[in-house]
Amino acid sequence: MTEREIEITLNGRRRKFRAKPNELLINVLRDRFSLTGAKYGCGLGECGACTVLVEGKPVLSCLTLAVSMDGHDVRTIEGLGGEKLDPLQESFLEHGAVQCGFCTPGMIMTARSLLDGNPSPSEEEIREYLRGNLCRCTGYQGIIQAVKHCNEKK
C-alpha cells in the first residue's frame, strides 16, 4: 500500500506525516502525534466523541481519511487554549459540565464552532447544534449551561 506524504496545519503548527490511504484521521492524531483528546467512541459517526475542527468546522475524525486532510487546518482540544484554558473550557469547569469526561473534548470542539459563528446562542440552538454529541453520563444540563453562559461574564 503506497503511503502519501501529507502536510497539515495541526493546532497552528505545520506538520508533515506519511499515511496509508486507509488510515483514519483519529488514529494519526492519537498514535503519531499523541493527541489523545479526541476519543474513539462508536466508529460510525453516531457519538461525536472523535470531533475535531477542520477549517473551523466540527468534523468526525473517525470517519475522515487522514490523507484527505492534506493542506487543511486541523485543530484538536489540545490546541484550543494557549497558555490559559479556552473560555469554553473554563465554563465547562465552572458549570460542572464534565462527569466521566469521555465526551467532553468532542462536546467542546463542536460547541466552540457554534460559539465562533453565533456568540450568544439560545438554549434551543445549543441543543440542536450539539445533537450529534452524546453524553453517556447524560450530563447534558451542565453542558448546555456551560455553553450558554460561556460568553456572558466579563
Report in angstroms how near the CB of residue 82 gets to another protein at its nearest: 25
Report in angstroms how near the CB of residue 78 gets to another protein at its nearest: 19
Nearer to another protein (CB atom), residue 21 or residue 81: 21
Report in angstroms how near the CB of residue 4 gets to another protein at its nearest: 7
Report in angstroms how near the CB of residue 111 gets to another protein at its nearest: 11
- Residue 42: how many other CB atoms lie within 10 Å: 13
DSSP 62: G
Nearer to another protein (CB atom), residue 1 or residue 83: 1
Q: Lay out the sheet containing 51-54: strands in order across.
A: 13-19, 4-10, 73-75, 51-54, 57-60
How many whole angstroms separate alpha carbon 14 and alpha carbon 144?
34
* Site residues (vs another protein, CB under 8 A): 1-2, 4, 21-22, 24, 43-46, 48, 51, 57-60, 63-65, 67-68, 70, 110, 128-129, 131-133
Nearer to another protein (CB atom), residue 96 or residue 117: 117
12 exposure class (CB count in 10 Å sphere: 0-12, 13-18, 19+): exposed
First-to-last alpha carbon distance for the chain, in angstroms, is 54
* CA geometry: angle 110, 78, 3, nearest 5 deg: 90
Nearer to another protein (CB atom), residue 7 or residue 85: 7
Report in angstroms how near the CB of residue 154 gets to another protein at its nearest: 27
DSSP 29: I
Nearer to another protein (CB atom), residue 49 or residue 150: 49
